[in-house]
Chain A
Amino acid sequence: MLRFFLRRFAVAVLVALTVLTLAFLLTRMSGDLAISIAGPNATAEDVATIRRVYGLDRPVWVQYLDWLGRALQGDFGESYFFRDRVANLIAVRMPVTLTLGLVGLAIALVVSLPLGILAAVREGSWLDRGVGLVAIIGQAMPSFWLGLVLMIVFGLQLGWLPISGVETWDGYILPGVVLAFSAIPSLTRLTRSGMIEALSSDYIRTARAKGLSRLSILVKHGFRNAAIPVVSIAAVQLGFMLGGSIVIETVFALHGVGYLAWESISKNDFPVVQAVVLVLALIYIALTLLADLLNAVLDPRLRTS
Chain B
Amino acid sequence: MSGAAMPMSRGGRLLRNPGFVVGAAIVGFAAIIAILAPWIVPYDPFAIDLNRRLVPPSFMEGGVPQNFLGTDQLGRDYLSRLIYGARISMVIGVLTVITSGLIGITLGVLGGFYGGRVDDFVVFCITTRLSIPAVLVALAVAALRGSSFMLVVLVLGLLLWDRFAVVARSTTMQIRNLDYVAAAWCAGVSRWWVLTREVLPNIATHLAVVATLEMALAILLEAALSFLGLGVPPPLPSWGLMISEAKEYMFFQSWVIIIPGAALFVLVLGVNLLGDALRDMMGTDLSR
Which residues of A are in contact with B by a Cβ distance under 8 Å?
11, 14-16, 18-19, 22, 26-27, 30-31, 36, 132, 136-137, 139-145, 148-149, 152, 156, 186, 189-190, 193, 229, 233, 236, 239, 242-244, 246-247, 250, 258, 261-262, 265-266, 268, 270, 273, 276-277, 280-281, 284-285, 288
Contact = CB atoms under 8 A, between A and B. Distances in A.
Nearest to A239: B131
B135 A246 contact: yes
The 7 closest A-B pairs by CB, nearest first: A243-B133, A30-B144, A145-B261, A140-B269, A140-B268, A280-B133, A284-B131
Contacts of B230: 265
Interface of B: 19, 124, 127-128, 130-137, 139-141, 143-145, 216, 220, 223-224, 227-230, 240, 243, 247, 250-251, 254, 257-258, 261, 264-265, 268-269, 271-273, 276, 287-288
A13 B131 CA distance: 12
B287 to A, nearest CB: 6
Contacts of B135: 243-244, 246-247
7 contacts: A19-B132, A30-B145, A136-B19, A145-B264, A261-B139, A262-B228, A265-B139
Q: Chain B interface mostly helix, strand, loop or mixed?
A: helix
Nearest to B120: A11
Contacts of B224: 142-144, 247
Contacts, number: 140
Contacts of A243: 133-136
A266 B268 contact: no
Given A145-B261, A265-B143, A19 B269 contact: no
Contact of A14 (B19, B124, B132, B140): B124
Given A142-B223, A277-B133, 14 more contacts: A15-B128, A19-B128, A19-B131, A22-B132, A31-B145, A139-B268, A140-B271, A142-B261, A189-B287, A190-B287, A246-B133, A247-B227, A258-B136, A284-B130
A19 B136 CA distance: 14
Contacts of B243: 144-145, 148
A26 B137 contact: yes
Nearest to B271: A140
Contacts of B139: 246, 261-262, 265
A270 B139 CA distance: 12
Nearest to A279: B133
A266 B133 CA distance: 18
A284 B131 CA distance: 6
Nearest to A132: B276
Contacts of B229: 266
A145 to B, nearest CB: 4
Contacts of A261: 136, 139-140
Chain B CB count within 10 A is highest, among A30, A31, A139, A268, for A139
Nearest to A266: B143
Contact of A15 (B124, B140, B240): B124
B144 A31 contact: yes
A139 B136 CA distance: 20
Given A137-B269, A142-B268, A143-B224, A281 B133 contact: yes
A136 B247 contact: no
A129 B145 CA distance: 45
A150 B25 CA distance: 29
Contacts of A148: 243, 247, 250, 257, 261
